Amino acid sequence: MPDVTLTTLNGLKAKGEKITMLTCYDATFAKAASEAGVEVLLVGDSLGMVLQGHDSTLPVSTADMAYHTACVKRGNAGALILADLPFMANATPELTFTHSAMLMQAGAHMVKIEGAAWLADTITLLAQRGVPVCAHLGLTPQAVNVFGGYKVQGRQQAQAEQLRQDAQALEQAGAAMLLLECVPTALANEISQAVTIPVIGIGAGSGTDGQVLVLHDMLGLSLSGRVARFVHNFMAGQNDIHGALAAYVKAVKDVTFPGSQHGFSA
Ligand code: KIV
């Protein structure tokens, strides 16, 4: 049992304290980030890009995710471990169930799944069987080929309404957390207030209940040389990685990150 549980995260939302989440893929960073106070370590399928060097997350397998989840578990000092279900692990509810079991048995406390209201039955199935689920909405990178690129989602009225409905439907289906990626700040605020479960944002402004960044991005490392608008380099002004991790936790907690320049308008 980690020190940080879903009860802890719900309590933070209830009292208006921001939740800190950071991607993590190995034991050494798991120790450093959890000791710095990061509450949720996300074993993201972004590892396909930042560790494996692919140009998308699509090549990542559940075996890859389970391997890195087990590494993170060994170094973790009390954070909640959230592991991504990779591309196509959401193809059918039964498949999702089998792949979730692999991640939970590797050390995850919760799984994250990309999709929308069409995942409601899958989320109910998992929640009823002891797998807490975080639903990832907005820019879902596994659907990059459908979107035609990594684009802000929810800018048109109809898209925004769909996202509002998806968020409510997934909460009702039993999702324990939502993650909103690259949606306009005002819409992310609305959704965060409309649901009772914690909402974590990336490129979604400062009104969500917490923030997540990709570890390599916040350490100023980039393979492609492109830096997304919502990224801040927390190594700036620090002597070492421990300083950068502490600065990230502090900036999320005191709501100095993200600033308005990191968000998107409708
Ligand atoms: O895989 C990942 O790192 C993620 C973040 C972008 C939220 O899902």
**Active-site residue list:** 181
Q: Which ligand 1 atom is the nearest neighbour of the CA of 21?
A: 7
Q: How far is the CA of 143 from the centre of ligand 1 (A)?
A: 13
pLDDT in tens, the chain (266 residues): 679 999 999 999 999 999 999 999 999 999 999 999 999 999 999 999 999 999 999 999 999 999 999 999 999 999 999 999 999 999 999 999 999 999 999 999 999 999 999 999 999 999 999 999 999 999 999 999 999 999 999 999 999 999 999 999 999 999 999 999 999 999 999 999 999 999 999 999 999 999 999 999 999 999 989 999 999 999 999 999 999 999 999 999 999 999 999 999 99
pLDDT of residue 34: 98
CA–centroid distance, residue 189 to ligand 1 (Å): 20
Ligand 1 contacts (CB < 6 A) are 23, 42, 44-46, 84, 179, 181, 202, 212, 214
Residue type, 2: P
Q: Which atom of ligand 1 is nearest to the CA of 84?
A: 1
Q: Ligand 1: which atom is nearest the Cα of residue 214?
A: 3
What number of CA atoms fall less than 13 Å from residue 41's CA on the CB side? 35
Element housing 177 (H / E): strand 177-181
How far apart CA 193 and CA 195 sit, in angstroms, is 6
Query: 3-class SS at 40?
Result: strand
In this prediction, residue 139 carries a pLDDT of 98
How much is the pLDDT for 222?
94
